[in-house]
Structure formats: structure tokens, C-alpha cells
Structure 1
Amino acid sequence: MIRRRLYVEERVSRLAVWSLRAAVFALPVTAIALLLYATETLDFRSAVYAVLAGVSLSGLALLLALAGFVVIWNEGLRGLGRVIGAAALALLLLAPTATVAALSVGLPVLHDITTDAQDPPEFQTLGVVRSRAANPLAYPGAMAAAEQRDAYPGIKSITFDVPPDDIYKAVMGLVTRHKWLVVDAVPPRGGQREGRIEAVARSLPFGLRDDIVIRLRRTAEGTTVDMRSVSRNGDRDFGSNARRIDQLLTELAEAQGRPRR
């Protein structure tokens, strides 16, 4: 007598399948948008919309994955690996967005931060080469200065009892270490003129461009350093400009062997 084996095909959860498809599709959408913006093929607004589309797909994928997990748990369907993979890929894109949103809580809507609001360091070279679609480099005024004081009271000028040329070399070393793109550099020549460094930095996690100018002035005490950092696009910087200024001036103070007040 021939025994027949009965094979029962286990069904795969459709939610698991579609969650993974959505998560996989969201990755190239976001990556291509960031790449095109980085290479200046895509303008900022279009890049933002494309990135938001990718993030939205990731959110949808995560919801489908959660629903798929519930169905698999209750009905015993296959597809747990797809659900886990979809959730992991979705979180890979959602985590940076959530981090930026969390960092922006309680911060003012500012994109231009300076240590000297009364006489902000001026951009010269970057003012010429930037796109017309970028944020203006004219300082926004007293209201922005007041909001900055409330949000970032520690962002202010710093003075060293060191000649301008020595401070200039130290600042250039820090700018190089941070791998900022130096667009223009004017040494102070022993204090005969103001030293100025203009550079472009990338802010994490999306690599948006921020324009930087550092000014060195000879004073009776030595050298006063001022710094200004301006987001090229968008009406808010999520605190990145203030963090950049604070970090550089803190590193400069440590290099000169004095605490930053």
C-alpha cells in the first residue's frame, strides 16, 4: 500500500510582502534625492519633497510590518523574516528624521547664528558665489538677535591675549581638521587688517550646506574672534549652526590653554 503524503502549503502574509517592498523602495528614493542634492543636480525644495516621500514610504512600511506581525502571530502565516527586514529598513530612514525633529523641540526658527549681532562678520566671497535661491546673507536683525540670546546665551565673541597671526593659524588648523571647504582665507598680517576665513560645512544627517565666516580683529588685549554660521537653505537650522560655533570656539580656547567663558 502506497502512503500518500499530504503537503499543506503555508500561506505568506501579504502585509509582510508589501511592507518589505515599500521599505526597499523607500531606500533608493531617499538616497537618490540626497545624491542629486549633494551634486547640485536637484534644488533644495525638490530634494526635500523627494526625501519626505522616501520617509513617508518608510513610515508606511513600518505600519504594514507591525500589522503583518499581528496577523502572523494570530493566524500562523509565514513572513516573519520579511516583517523584521521591513521594520529594520524603515527604522534606518526614520531614525535620522526623528532625531532631527527631537533636536528641534524648543529651538527658535533661526538659520543665521553669530557671536556678534551688533556687527556680524560679513561674507564677501561666498556672497558672490552662492545661488540666488539660497537664504540671503543680510543679517535678519534685532528680533533674530533676541531669539538667539534666549536660546544660545553662550554664543558670543572670544578674546585671546595672543597675536592675530597665531590665532589665525590655530583657526585654520581647526577648520582643516573639520574638513570644511575653505572658499577664501585672508590672514591678518600682524593685525594690519582683519583676518577672515570663509568656508562651507555640511550639517548632519542630511548633508545640508552651511556657510561660515570667521573674523579675527586685533584689540588692545590681543585678538577677538567672531564667527557666523548661516544655513544655505530652509528657515531653521535645528541648532546645527550654534553647535558648530560653540564647538569651534571651545576647541580654539582649549588649544590656547584657557577656559572659555
Structure 2
Amino acid sequence: MTVRYERPVSHAAYRGQKMALLSFFVALLSWGAHRFGFLSTPYYIAIAAVAALLASVGAYLALVGIAALWRRGARGGMASIKALTLSLVALVPAAVAAGLFLKLPPLYDVTSDIADPPQWLKPVSADQSWMGARLPVTTAERTAQASAYRDLTGRRYDGALDRVYTAARKVAIDNGMTITEEAGAPELTAEPEQPAAKPDDGAVPDLIDKIPIPMPRPDDVGPEVNALPPGDAYIQGERRTFLFGFRQDIVIRLREEAETTLVDIRVEARYGHHDLGTGADFIRDYLRALDAELLGIAGD
């Protein structure tokens, strides 16, 4: 009499494979939609969290399948390996984000000058959806930034404002920044060219040229909104992070002081209450690139 051994089947392994495959497609499709601008950040984060949850369940079932293979020789080993591999697509980004969230202070706005941050030429607002409204940055948050990012300091260059402004603008574009607003640029503050005087040919001037133009009374002129310090130049723009496409708003301030030009930068994540360190990373990269562009005129 022939005895046939029937291997048991680990149903958990195959269910885990299906769950992991679903999480893979959800994570991949939501990433593509967000990276190329079809899906806003709050919805992407919510969908990515769901994908990570599905991947966690799939990975757990895969481990159950591996345990059944080890103990009872149950079928489903390859399904478990596939499930674990597919789960990594959603779990690795979630794990990295969670680690940064816990390690770094909860800041969405960072600057190289915490005492006097550059002002926005045009404040940017965005619908935070389920993430909740954001409050203005507090002194405690600036102190937390100073403690966490001690290397974020402005730069002083021994060069005129026009030269440094040109380099700052070029480096901003090279680092993926789309410029949306500018103010105080050297070419914008130049004196307007006066029209050439007409030769006096003895003709009687047209009386319509002498009609006075009414000017507003001093009391009628309202206060300037969002007034900027005179003499400062500003470059404002936006960019998206390379891998995940998170939007950042950026303003660069150039201030001429005693034959030198001081450059400071401010970066704000458009969504959420935590930028996971991306703002500080951009400031470091930008200032290093600006140092290289202006090599030889950096001050102390």
C-alpha cells in the first residue's frame, strides 16, 4: 500500500501575497499621481498611509506563511517571499518618514535667519484638508530650529548687490526653483532714463502739455501693505522635492551692508505641519551651490 504525503497549504501566505500586491499598486499609482501633479499632498499622504497599512497586513501574513513552512512544510514559501518584497514598496517610505517625524522637530517653516526671517512677497495659502489649519510660526519653534539645525546660517559675500543677485537667481533656477515674484532687483531700482530734450525751434508749445495733473493728498494715501525694508532685494518661488514631489515655497533675501551682501533664505512646506527636514536640506544645498558660484568673494 502506497502512502502519499499531502503537504498542507498556508492560506495566510497566499492571502498575504494578494494583500501585498494590492498595496504595491496603490502605493505606486498614488506616488505617480502626486509626483506629476494630479493628486494633492493631503490626499496622497492619506492614500500612502492606507497602502502602508495594507502592506503591513500582507507582510504579517507572509511571516505566518514562512512560519508554517518551517514548522509543517506547508506550501506558500514563494508566495510569502513575493509578499514581503512587494510590501517594501509601501513600507520603506513610511518607515523612513516615521523615523524623520520622530527624530526632527515638527517644523514646516525654516530659515537661515531666525531673528529676522525674510518676508514673503506674496504669501502662499493652500487647503490643508484633513491635516488641519496651520498656526503662525512661534518663537519656541524658531528656538527648536536653532537647536536642531545649528548649521543653517546666512552667507555674507564681499561683492555688490547686483553681482550677488544675479548669482543667487541663477543658482535658484539651477536647483529647481520656479521664480514667481521678485522685488528690489538692481535692474528694477535703476533710475528711469530721462527723455532727450527737444530742440527749441521757437514754436509756441501746445497748451495741453501744461495742464496740471491732480495728485492725491498725503492724508489720502493709505499705508503700504506688507512693506519691505528699503534696499533689500527678494526672490520668491516654489519647487518640488525630487523623489516624492512635495511642494515648497521659497523666498531669498539679499541685503547690502557696508560693501558686502548678506544672503538669507526661508523655505516653507506648502502642506502639513512637518517638512521632515526637506526645508533644511534645500537651504544647505542652495547655500553650498551659491558659495561655489561666488567662489572667491565669500566673507567671514
TM-score (norm 2): 0.74
Shift of 1:197: 2.0
* Alignment of 1:162 onto 2:162: no
Choose the corresponding residue for 2:42, options 16, 41, 45. 45
Shift of 1:132: 4.5
**Which of structures 1 and 2 has the larger relative contact order (alpha carbons within 8 angstroms, sep 6+)?**
2
The whole-number CA distance in structure 2 between the counterparts of 1:222 and 1:197 is 18
* Alignment of 1:255 onto 2:293: yes
The amino acid across from 1:257 in the alignment is: L
Match of 2:228 in 1: none
Match of 2:255 in 1: 217
The amino acid across from 1:239 in the alignment is: G
The amino acid across from 2:82 in the alignment is: G
Choose the corresponding residue for 1:71, options 46, 49, 68. 68
- SS of alignment partner, residue 274 of structure 2: coil
The amino acid across from 1:49 in the alignment is: A
The whole-number CA distance in structure 2 between the counterparts of 1:75 and 1:260 is 71
Aligned residues: 256
Q: Could you tell me which runs of 5 or more consecutive residues in structure 2 were left unpaired when the two chains were aligned.
A: 190-230
Residue identity over aligned pairs, in percent, reads 27
Choose the corresponding residue for 1:31, options 28, 31, 51. 28
Shift of 1:221: 3.4
Change (3 A) 1:67 1:260: farther
> What is the correspondence of 1:144-183 to structure 2 with a 5 Å cutoff?
144-183=141-180
| Kept after mapping to 1: 8 A contact 2:20/2:87 | yes
Deviations 1:101-121 (Å, cap 9, x if unpaired)?
223333211111011223221
The whole-number CA distance in structure 1 between the counterparts of 2:93 and 2:6 is 40
Greater CA drift, 226-235 or 70-79: 70-79
- SS of alignment partner, residue 140 of structure 1: coil
Deviations 1:120-153 (Å, cap 9, x if unpaired)?
212224x25x435489898513222211111112
Shift of 1:194: 3.1
Change (3 A) 1:78 1:102: same
The amino acid across from 2:174 in the alignment is: R
Match of 2:120 in 1: 123
Change (3 A) 1:191 1:45: closer
Shift of 1:18: 0.9
Change (3 A) 1:176 1:160: same
The whole-number CA distance in structure 2 between the counterparts of 1:140 and 1:49 is 25
The amino acid across from 2:281 in the alignment is: R
Shift of 1:24: 0.7
| Kept after mapping to 2: 8 A contact 1:164/1:191 | no
Greater CA drift, 190-199 or 95-104: 190-199
The amino acid across from 1:131 in the alignment is: A
The whole-number CA distance in structure 2 between the counterparts of 1:97 and 1:136 is 23
Change (3 A) 1:205 1:105: farther
* Alignment of 1:232 onto 2:270: yes
Larger CA Rg, structure 1 vs 2: 2
> Root-mean-square deviation (CA), in Å?
3.0
Shift of 1:159: 0.7
The amino acid across from 1:219 in the alignment is: E
Shift of 1:59: 1.0
- SS of alignment partner, residue 197 of structure 1: strand
The whole-number CA distance in structure 1 between the counterparts of 2:133 and 2:250 is 13
The whole-number CA distance in structure 2 between the counterparts of 1:66 and 1:207 is 33
The amino acid across from 1:207 in the alignment is: G
- SS of alignment partner, residue 162 of structure 1: coil
Shift of 1:8: 6.6
| Kept after mapping to 2: 8 A contact 1:20/1:85 | yes
Shift of 1:41: 5.2
Shift of 1:260: 8.6
